[in-house]
Structure 1
Amino acid sequence: MSSDRLPFSRLRLPRPEITVRQRWMGVRENWRLLLRLAVATGSAFTIATYLLGHTQAFFAPIAAVITMMGGAGRRQRVIFELVLGVAFGVLVAELLILLIGRGGWQMALVASLTAVVAMLCNLKGMALTQAINSGVLLAAVVPLPGVANPAVTRFTDALIGGMCGFLMMLILPRDTRRDLDESLQKLLTGLADVLRHTAEAMRTDDAAMADAALDQARDTQSTIESLHSTAANVSEIARLAPLRWNQRADVERYAGSVNDLDNAMRDARVLARRVAAMLRHHESVPSGLTDAVETLVVAVQIYADEFASSVDLERANERLVEASNLAMQALSDRLTVNTASVAAQVRSLAADLLMAGGVSRTALDDILDVD
């Protein structure tokens, strides 16, 4: 390893520690989820056991949990796949059990053949999983004497549990604007930190700091994935839950910015990488480029503080245009492959953030002259 890489091996940007108090606060903030789980599972079990007389109604509460936790933004499809998979699995497994009975090798055969038949019928995802699970449970659980047909009861329990979980999502929905705003702020704060450390690396000619900023940008991938999941989840809730219909316009605008913010973080990764390359080659960094990145930090911080405020967005957009102009003007001082790449990334990042703030792609041609 070359000597100029040694500082980076020791450099790590600080990671915040999560305290027990913060974890407890996280539990308190999820009180709606806890209440939904309690009511949905209890209701599903009660309906299946006491109203329908199912002696082994364990799958009704399980189905309720699967529906609520099974996929952000796709619970309607989850219910369909859940019921379809259960129906298919109990059909295949019941036929096999009638022919070969129950036992160890029968379990293996039921699981394998159920999976094979389900795949041949083009079942995927949740439907395939539930088909296999249904086959396994039917082969493993011996019905009590005098109980109803296990295939019929399992199918009914799946439907009951799925509907209980879905109804609880509609009756006690999440606060869509709060959830999305928290996720957006987390990503924007991370983006501001990446740009801040990149600008610091440019000011101090520290290639290791730029490499660390690149690692920090890569570490935000889980945050981006969580933001996409949250956007899909709250969009579904705002569309279906009557208590959240008044938030649909805000949620649509917030959710529409997610892809642009994702692109902005990708731009930040490339920016940090090009800055690190520039500093490793001991190139002189034009002061205008550093000013441009620091101006981006100011704009992103405004976004993170109050993304929903049109006044603040206007102020942030002014800083983004300023950052782009500074980057372009800096090229007249010293033009190299790396400086041109850094300037281009500043411009791209500004464009993506402008679109996240509501500027149309067509309007960018006039604002930044971006194709």
Structure 2
Amino acid sequence: MRRAGLRDGRTDVDAPRIAQAMRELRHRGRATLHDRLHRVRMAVGLAVQAGLAATLAWVVSHELLNNPQPVFAPISAVGTLAASVGQRLRRTVELIVGVAIGVLLGDILIYFLGAGGWQLGLVVIAAILLTIFSGASVAIVIQAAATAVLIVTLSPSTQNLEIPRFVDAFIGGGIALLVTAVLLPLNPLRVINRAARPALDLLANQLDICAEALRNRDRESAQRALERLRENKEELAVFQEAIEGAKETSTLSPVRWHRRSELTHYAEAADPIDRAMRNSGTLIRRSVTLIEDEEPIPEPMPDAVAHLAESVRLLRHEFAVGEEPEKARERSLRAVSEAGRAYAQGVGFSGSVVIAQVRTTASDLLVASGIEQEEANRHIRQSFGELERPKGEPAEQGATPMPPTAPPLG
């Protein structure tokens, strides 16, 4: 019946919705491919380091120490590199401690109980419970249990396995540190810049979408921006891990020592950027409610949100090129100034929350740029101004009465 109606010249009312859905699906496909390629670029350096470390560990154990089966050394090297970005020195120590516990338990139980299936199970249980009781990390627990399994299963057929296992743990962990610190140290700033881009681009893009949604009173666009911003845990986790890895590299690698001061900006910016993400989420959520309730939207309000988005982009760029983030600071204060103008023109309840969150997010970005919190708050108040509605001027329809002071910093 639908097709017949279309042939008779009726309008296909579903076509615009289907076309919109297809555009979103195509965009999502492109975004997914872009994200995957970005993750591959992020992992290239680590993959090369792991490959080099595994090769060197095998060569040292097999060729120099005459180990006929140098299995544990490359495994230890790859495990140290791949599972502990930012904590490789600690992971090497954990690796050796775990091996020691596993060897000790395996030898003791084999001596008293012999080797077999039920002995294997008992060894694993004992290794896990002992390491957990001692307060060891998950890495030590896993390494102790795995080593105990190897001792029980291989000792009957391979004599004197314990010493090679210890040596391989030292070789693998040590070579992993050698590769990352001396032979192939990654540029810590480049690693952080690549990791920061997705998190900061996500924040800037959703603020831009929110600003446009406010201009057009597009509730659906604002809601989609809110949902996308809520999915920021992966981006923030990658960013935080990259900071830890970069700090470790700059500590261990002599050729990267001169980068320590430059890394300070990023290390101190992580927490305020996280807060800016959360406060922007509140801003966008109240924007959705503002549109739903048909509250007034003064023209400067969307501009204020758009300036926040640009401030995030400028912050990312100025960090990447090693410049003092003065342009980002100026744009944050401009966002607050526009928010003050919007507040003076009259807003509703949700609108006042949006204005407050513009101020709070701008404060977060100023702190991320290297300004102390107290100084940032002072600049925010100055830029916002002591604004109130002129006496005798009626409030706009749907707006709440304006208090004599500006909204708090949140």
State the shift of 1:287 in Å: 2.1
2:234 aligns to what? 222
Separation in structure 1 between the aligned mates of residue 244 and residue 268 of structure 2, nearest angstrom? 10
**Equivalent residue, structure 1, for 2:98:** 85
Partner SS state of residue 317, structure 1: helix
Listed as ranges, the matches of 1:120-269 within 5 Å are 120-144=133-157, 147=159, 149-171=160-182, 172-269=184-281
Q: Tell me the residue number matched to 1:328.
A: 340
**How far 1:144 moved relative to its partner?**
3.9
Cα deviation for residue 357 of structure 1 reads: 1.3
Moved more, 73-82 or 311-320: 311-320
Letter in 1 for 2:360: S
Shift of 1:306: 3.5
2:36 and 2:328 map into 1 onto residues whose CA distance is: 33
Give the deviation of 1:53 after TM superposition. 3.1
**Alpha carbons 2:296, 2:347 under 8 Å: kept:** no
| Larger CA Rg, structure 1 vs 2 | 2
1:15 is paired with a residue whose SS is helix
Q: How many Å apart are 1:181 and its aligned residue?
A: 1.6
Deviates more, 1:304-313 or 1:114-123: 304-313
Larger deviation: 352-361 or 334-343? Answer: 334-343
Percent identical pairs in the alignment equals 31
Distance 1:67 1:106, change over 3 A: same
* Cα shift at 1:288: 2.2
> How far is 1:24 from its partner?
7.3
SS of the counterpart of 1:363?
A: helix
2:131 corresponds to which residue? 118
Q: Distance in 1 between matches of 2:222 and 2:31?
A: 26
Supply the distance in 2 between the matched residues of 1:48 and 1:308 (Cα, whole angstroms).
41
1:99 aligns with: 112
- Alignment match, 1:358: 370
Report the counterpart of residue 298 of structure 2 in structure 1: 286
Kept in 2: contact 1:91–1:151 (CA 8 A) = no
Which structure 2 segments of 5+ residues have no match?
1-16, 382-408
Q: Deviations over 1:46-97 (max 9, x none)?
A: 2223333333331111110111122122111111111011101110111112
* CA contact 1:93–1:110 (8 Å) conserved in 2: yes
CA RMSD of aligned residues (A): 2.7
Distance 1:208 1:27 in 2: 33
Return the structure number with greater relative CO, CA threshold 8 A, min gap 6: 1
Within 1, Cα distance between the matches of 2:116 and 2:30?
A: 50
Deviation at 1:311, TM superposition (A): 6.6
| Map of 1:277 onto structure 2 | 289
Contact 1:43 1:164 (8 Å CA) reproduced: yes
- SS of 1:343's partner is helix
SS at match of 1:72: coil
Quick one: which amino acid aligns to residue 184 of structure 1? A
**Shift in Å, 1:349:** 0.8
Distance 2:66 2:323 in 1: 60
Change (3 A) 1:19 1:317: closer
* Partner amino acid, structure 2, of 1:331: Y
* Structure 1 counterpart of 2:338, one-letter code: L
2:171 counterpart SS class? helix
Secondary structure of 2:319's match? coil
Equivalent residue pairs, number: 362
Conserved? CA contact 2:115–2:156, under 8 Å? no
* CA shift for structure 1 position 35: 3.5
Structure 1 distance, partners of 2:349, 2:274, is 25
* Structure 1: gaps spanning 5 or more residues: 1-6
- Point out the more displaced range, 167-176 or 360-369: 360-369
Following superposition, the deviation at residue 131 of structure 1 comes to: 0.8
Moved more, 348-357 or 115-124: 115-124
Specify whether residues 328 and 173 from structure 1 end up closer, same or farther in structure 2 by C-alpha distance, changes over 3 A only. Answer: same
Q: Distance in 1 between matches of 2:128 and 2:312?
A: 49
Length-normalised TM-score, structure 2:
0.81
- Tell me by how many angstroms 1:206 deviates: 1.6
| Segment drifting more, 134-143 vs 320-329 | 134-143
